[in-house]
Structure 1
């Protein structure tokens, strides 16, 4: 008994001793903290956790007329949320809708950007600050999210029911088109992720205009790809509630999928590998009350960093600068790394869309 008491006293003394590291208490699931506010012009839509350990986001479509003529920026943070640097995107048409999405990275570490005013795929070398246009989608395309997959980069089009494939030489192909991707009232195709082990793409759709459900229902869709890189038959993994507007999503190692709902619900939804709903956070929709000082306000993506997902809080409708932030939401499990093949890079020469 005396040994037990002595051991306890020693343990308490060590825990309180200066200079002795004490493990941080584990966070509860759904604990939400502000990772960082997003500087003007704001409106982040996706967060990219880079293999270099840093975090990047672009400023997307600014609805605030006071910021509408401001060029978009790419912003860099440390893994702890410290703002490090930013770069202004060159060559935008500032009289048109303009924004930039940090969608992925290349095998040699350059950022892959989607720029909407001129429908461009760009890269940014963060070591030199050099931007380069590597492909142009057809006029009117609205590049939204992207993933590397078989034989190139796959890009969703928010304004049309198309998935584009961008090859390494900059050639652009209309790779897949389907009525399910058309959307209703302009709410189209959003997140996309290549699932290498299953040889399929997961694709998020904000609204479905096919008549199979209410037109305000969205979905998470599955699209198999054969060994020759050809798309198979589209199927539905999960159907959202009306007005949810599923946007970007992250996939855990367990197979669970965390989807940001950019609609009125203002929630994250957790799905199991079969597409069944496990949980919604917050449990009560509409308020966005996540327990942090910044409520969910158009949460637009969920990117894994450690055992958390980073949520881009866009505030697309309200345009509230104090809500335009990256939020850190603990989910208690780790994510699958983004697919990044060794040939994930672009050649120097820009080609016209095919």
Structure 2
């Protein structure tokens, strides 16, 4: 727990409350195997957007895509295909967000932060933010040079995105232990926060991962999937929503200690936090104090089981949680899907700023 010793724990370890009842986990929609490996999900009006592939080994394969589903009928209505990728090289699309005009923002490992505007039956693509910079490791950087706190050089991997009400876009970089921030209107990303606590470990050293603002818009919450000190450790942290937080501001909200691998998450209107556990094939439900009150898991008879869930969003009219099956460890294409389960909760509305 060396990386956790410098922060103020709100809760550590699961404390399961009895009597919590959620619905069965069922299939909302299957996701096409090409490109597969879905990760991002966003709901706007009657549309559900699901992005991918969030994986390695894509060189020589087809372009990244966003599948667009009807929220009520669950039918795939259209596909947004990313243009401009060098398909002979590694290319991926991770998470997505929506602005006040319903435009879709997606994180591309090659192209940076993309924006898609609906025009009739198609979507027009434009560049909104530059790709994340490839930072040298601080141990080898020159004085004053922007660098990464990782112990050795690693490439940037943009993972999740969240807007604040002013239009700043906060983006996690899972391999460079950095949270970047794009200014309103886009452009070049700037380093917002870095820490050794954000560094990942293991064969797939995914560190800082999911990111959201809390319901009161006072804190930025984020997950760390695999701790550098011990890959069985993962955590939810928070920082104050200020221009320049420092290391002393970092607080531990909840520690996962058994290889659960926390990934994306979402706040409910109830104040509960629903966390996708990729390693445990479950959804962890944290109360307002950061205490785990229950877990949502598959049943033996489920058509498609929870398989490395990567992210979650809400279908408010049905009070259900939509869960993206990433299937990143099994790589089972039949598990690429969005699942749903009744939770009796609605979304804490995400910031959808008006942007130029």
Distance 1:68 1:255, change over 3 A: farther
CA distance in 2: counterparts of 1:196 and 1:341, whole angstroms: 15
Q: Corresponding residue for 1:48?
A: 42
Of 68, 73, 78 in structure 2, the residue corresponding to residue 76 of structure 1 is 68
Is residue 2:98 matched to residue 1:105? yes
> Residue 247 of structure 1 aligns to a residue in which SS?
strand
Is residue 2:266 matched to residue 1:250? yes
Are the equivalent residues in 2 in contact too, given 1:184–1:216 (CA < 8 A)? no
Is residue 2:169 matched to residue 1:153? yes
| 1:151 CA displacement | 5.2
CA distance in 2: counterparts of 1:63 and 1:255, whole angstroms: 35
Are the equivalent residues in 1 in contact too, given 2:217–2:241 (CA < 8 A)? no
Distance 1:208 1:169, change over 3 A: same
| 1:171 CA displacement | 2.5
| 1:230 CA displacement | 2.5
Q: Corresponding residue for 1:218?
A: 234
Q: Corresponding residue for 2:351?
A: 339
Is residue 2:125 matched to residue 1:121? no
Q: Corresponding residue for 1:190?
A: 209
1:21-40 residue pairs with structure 2 within 5 A? 29-39=22-32, 40=34
Of 73, 84, 94 in structure 2, the residue corresponding to residue 91 of structure 1 is 84
Of 227, 240, 258 in structure 2, the residue corresponding to residue 208 of structure 1 is 227
> Residue 126 of structure 1 aligns to a residue in which SS?
strand
| 1:147 CA displacement | 0.4
Distance 1:64 1:291, change over 3 A: farther
CA RMSD, aligned part only? 1.9
Q: Corresponding residue for 2:178?
A: 162
Q: Corresponding residue for 1:10?
A: none
Q: Deviations over 1:290-313 (max 9, x none)?
A: 652001111111111121111110
CA distance in 2: counterparts of 1:290 and 1:99, whole angstroms: 32
Distance 1:191 1:68, change over 3 A: farther
> Residue 259 of structure 1 aligns to a residue in which SS?
strand
> Residue 44 of structure 1 aligns to a residue in which SS?
coil
> Residue 180 of structure 1 aligns to a residue in which SS?
helix
Q: Deviations over 1:265-307 (max 9, x none)?
A: 111111101110101122xxxxx54652001111111111121
Q: Corresponding residue for 1:176?
A: 193
CA distance in 2: counterparts of 1:274 and 1:290, whole angstroms: 32
Q: Deviations over 1:297-334 (max 9, x none)?
A: 11111111121111110111222121000001111111
Are the equivalent residues in 1 in contact too, given 2:215–2:267 (CA < 8 A)? no
Distance 1:334 1:93, change over 3 A: same
Q: State the number of aligned residues.
A: 303
CA distance in 1: counterparts of 2:157 and 2:188, whole angstroms: 17
- The TM-score with structure 2 as length reference comes to 0.80
Distance 1:62 1:159, change over 3 A: closer
Are the equivalent residues in 2 in contact too, given 1:195–1:201 (CA < 8 A)? yes
Distance 1:64 1:330, change over 3 A: farther
Q: Corresponding residue for 2:276?
A: 260
Q: Corresponding residue for 1:325?
A: 337
Q: Corresponding residue for 1:11?
A: none
Are the equivalent residues in 2 in contact too, given 1:78–1:84 (CA < 8 A)? yes
CA distance in 1: counterparts of 2:35 and 2:27, whole angstroms: 18
Q: Corresponding residue for 2:218?
A: 199
CA distance in 2: counterparts of 1:245 and 1:290, whole angstroms: 22
Task: Find the structure with the greater CA-based Rg.
Answer: 1
CA distance in 1: counterparts of 2:326 and 2:299, whole angstroms: 15
| 1:108 CA displacement | 1.5
Are the equivalent residues in 1 in contact too, given 2:25–2:299 (CA < 8 A)? no
